[in-house]
Structures are given as C-alpha cells and as structure tokens.
Amino acid sequence: MMEKNKKAVIQQQRNSYKTYSKAYDAIYNMVLLDEKINYYTVADKAGVSRSYLYQHEALSDMIQTFSTLQKTDSSPSALKEEYDKARKRLEDAKERLHKAKEEYNKL
C-alpha cells in the first residue's frame, strides 16, 4: 500500500514539473520570438490555465516583467537606439567640457 502511494506521489511530482516546464518554455520561446506576453497568451501557448500562472509566483513575475518591458519597447533594437542616443549625449557633454576647459585656460 505504501509503495502504491509513493508511486502516485512521484507521478504527481513529474506531472507538476512537466506542466511548470511547459509554461516556462512557452514564456521563453515567446520572448525569443518577440511575441506579445500576457497571462492569456502564455496560458494559451502553454496549454495551462491562467489561474495556474497566477498561482506560481515565479511564472507570474516573469509574465509581469516581460509584459512591462514590451510596453516600454525594450526590444533589442530599441535598446540599441537608446544606447546610441546616450552615447551621443555623452560625446556632446565631453566636447562642451573640453571647450569650457580651453576657455578657462585662456583666462
């Protein structure tokens, strides 16, 4: 009897792991493919319920994080564009500093 219960527990753990892995893999693939990420799309892609996603804090956090990033357009091309803008501002600031030092040295 104990052996039967032990096997049932092990099988339940395997099923739980498989379900969690399906959800995690769905999120991962959706990020790679730059697909829209929210509870509905992930649940649909993974074949799990939205309540399952809400109940698992790590999955829920991932969905919220990636959803927010998508809203702020943090795609690789957008991040590169922001980086280039920041680099240009830094170069401009260095140039202004250099000119200010030259003017100061003339005094």
- HEC assignment per residue over 2-67: HHHHHHHHHHHHHHHHHHHHHHHHHHHHHHHCCCCCCHHHHHHHHCCCHHHHHHCHHHHHHHHHHH
pLDDT of 17 over the 80 cut:
yes
What average pLDDT does range 15-25 have in this prediction? Answer: 88
Q: Check: pTM over 0.85? Answer yes or no.
A: no
Cβ neighbours of residue 50 under 8 Å, at least 6 residues apart?
39, 40, 43
Mean pLDDT of the chain: 83
Q: Is the pLDDT at 43 greater than 90, yes or no?
A: yes
Tell me what the mean pLDDT of segment 18-37 comes to.
89
pLDDT tens, 52-99? Answer: 999 998 889 889 988 888 777 666 676 667 767 777 777 777 788 788
